Amino acid sequence: MPNELYDVTIIGGGPIGLFSAFYSGLRSMKTKIIDAEPAVGGKVRYFFPEKIIRDIGGIPAITGANLVANLKEQAETFHPTIVCNERVVDVTKLTDGTFQLTSHNGAIHFSKTIVIATGSGTFEVNKLEALHAENFPLAIHYDVKNLEQFRGKVVAVSGGGNSAIDWAQTLEPIAKQVHLIYRGEDFKAHEESVRELKNSRVQIHIHHEISELIGTNNTLASINICCNQTQITKTIETEALFINHGVKVDLGTMAEWGFEQADFGIVVDDEMNTTVPGIFACGDSATYPRKIRIIAAGLHEGPIAINSAKKYLEPTAANEAMISTHHESFIG
């Protein structure tokens, strides 16, 4: 029913939104997820389906695709309503305290509380800017859904953050040769990942940027990379490029919903309250002192936001869900 009232509506169906939906089910809350993308999973589904994720406790290694599949299955335990292909563009608090959410297509949703779990908002990758890049669209990759297509090939990764280093290390045992091209010197990544990178077969080119793509018949053969300190150009054989130059993020109309915001998201307190009563934020949407931007941290923040939403609706409710691993299992 289009005008059905929900206890909580989670804006964003990425890993944090999905786990929050599961936890809200534990709290017996009628739950809806609204996501702007065609399917749930967020940036992990879009950019990292075959990337190995290692920063979740108890899971030594899992692909992004499998992580999303597991989280979706878990989220569906309590049968939340999941709406995709809708971007929420307006939120209005009605006189009775109910929130009216309006999507870009005119759809209307009603909810008693809202949890924002949109990550950094909608995203658009920063495209490669180099001579003749437009001639080789099939050779330039901003995400990877089939690693096997690069087996035995010479590939290059451009970037200096965690994503670029992760892709270089993921491709290293598959490709014939991996080049990592970074315009800086100090990688913006976890120290251990950098150490492993430097001890791998990956050929590292610091202080370099891709300046030109070379090939025939839309088939990439090599690239020119230019040192930004000496201006000397060198050519390296390359059959495929992986570009990790970050993304343009946009909170869209959320910036107009009355929140206090900082450089890295919506300001929340230690209970994930925003400055708008009844609206909470978690994951990369939220910011507070000493914030850690990893999936595991967001999986902790989601339940806090849900617990706060529960207390907002029912002030006498328990502070948290009593689950099988809780200390009450040991109370005799």
Residue 68 CB partners (closer than 8 Å, separation 6+): 15, 18, 40, 41, 44, 45, 49
Show the CA angle centred on residue 93, arms to residues 92 and 95, nearest 5°: 130
* 263 annotated as belonging to a binding site for a ligand: no
* 48 annotated as belonging to a binding site for a ligand: yes
Pairing type for strands 233-237 and 219-227 reads antiparallel
Structure tokens at 61: 């290694």
- The identity of residue 185, as a single letter, is E
Number of Cβ within a 10 Å radius of residue 242: 25
Runs of H (alpha helix) within the chain: 15-26, 42-47, 64-75, 162-171, 191-198, 295-313
* 47 annotated as belonging to a binding site for a ligand: no
* 166 annotated as belonging to a binding site for a ligand: no
Cβ burial, residue 92 (10 Å; 0-12/13-18/19+): exposed
CA distances from 123 to 67, 118, 146, 247 (A): 21, 10, 22, 6
* 284 annotated as belonging to a binding site for a ligand: yes
Structure tokens at 109: 């949703």
Binding residues for FAD: 35, 43, 48, 88, 123, 284, 325
Binding residues: 35, 43, 48, 88, 123, 284, 325
